[in-house]
A = this chain, B = another copy of it.
């Protein structure tokens, strides 16, 4: 079913049919209605590829993200999807599993797929090899969750957020506060969050114990359990993401510790599910859906202006400390001299 068929049946030229669809005011109401009626009768749908070929605009956005198995990115993608539809764009998501080679492959795939722009969550903007290429090629793109002075980013102040969270824990009387993270090298977010932790500890005049790094999902709970059974185990855990927080709570349980009575746990991300858990997850909530939405809007806006996005277009969205039930005042234990702000 082509524009030719519609034109023939309506007794007008293909140009008129095209105009009737794309510039309704450039044809008389009569012809417009005629064309619309015939098109409907013929069940006509404009051919996207032909239009793209001609206009050099596909109205498709590529989305590169680590995984859909972390609800954070699923929520973000949902936000992207809604905003894209609203803006008249389709999206093609590709997951990378946090692997650099997959990031390259994904970008290559999408570029070959004729996307007009890209939204990406990369491991680390500084070490990414694809970002310079995108810029060199003049492909509009925006980073989500990443934060970097040289790239357009939509993110939150992870560092400040975690520092604040540490401060809260300190106010609750915690002194032995440890941080739990996935592979630190695998993501700039993890690094920023860790820096925030270090800052918070330092601000409180506390020594930061070594980072608890749990690289493998499969062994995370076991690894965490080890740490929780140590003699001077932490009384509070700041986790680099909600999934780790959930696993920490499980590790605590397996170690005979109760959350929050024996161990406080703070997550990061604000996945919706966290609110329905028992204990409800205390977490630093990012506006995941909004991060997606704003990324799309920024990108579409830039593309409408025929430009790429620059670093100064970056957006820092507000985060929120979401109070749950996985955090409580520290109970004094083997270090009674440290008790002060307990009000349990």
Contact = CB atoms under 8 A, between A and B. Distances in A.
Contact of A49 (B58, B71, B94): B58
Contact of A68 (B50, B53, B81, B94): B81
A78 B85 contact: no
Contacts of A276: 221, 243, 246-247, 250
29 contacts: A43-B137, A45-B111, A45-B112, A47-B53, A47-B114, A48-B114, A49-B49, A49-B53, A49-B114, A60-B92, A60-B113, A67-B78, A68-B74, A68-B77, A69-B71, A69-B74, A69-B75, A71-B74, A74-B74, A81-B94, A81-B95, A82-B95, A85-B109, A90-B113, A91-B93, A93-B93, A243-B273, A253-B278, A277-B277
Contacts of A301: none
Interface of A is mostly: helix
**Identical copies of this chain, number:** 2
Interface of A: 43, 45-50, 52-53, 58, 60, 67-69, 71, 74-75, 77-78, 81-82, 85, 90-95, 109, 111-114, 137, 221, 243, 246-247, 249-250, 253, 272-273, 276-278, 280
Contact of A273 (B46, B50, B221, B273): B273
Contacts of A137: 43
Given A74-B68, A93-B81, A113 B48 contact: yes
A90 B93 CA distance: 8
Nearest to A43: B137
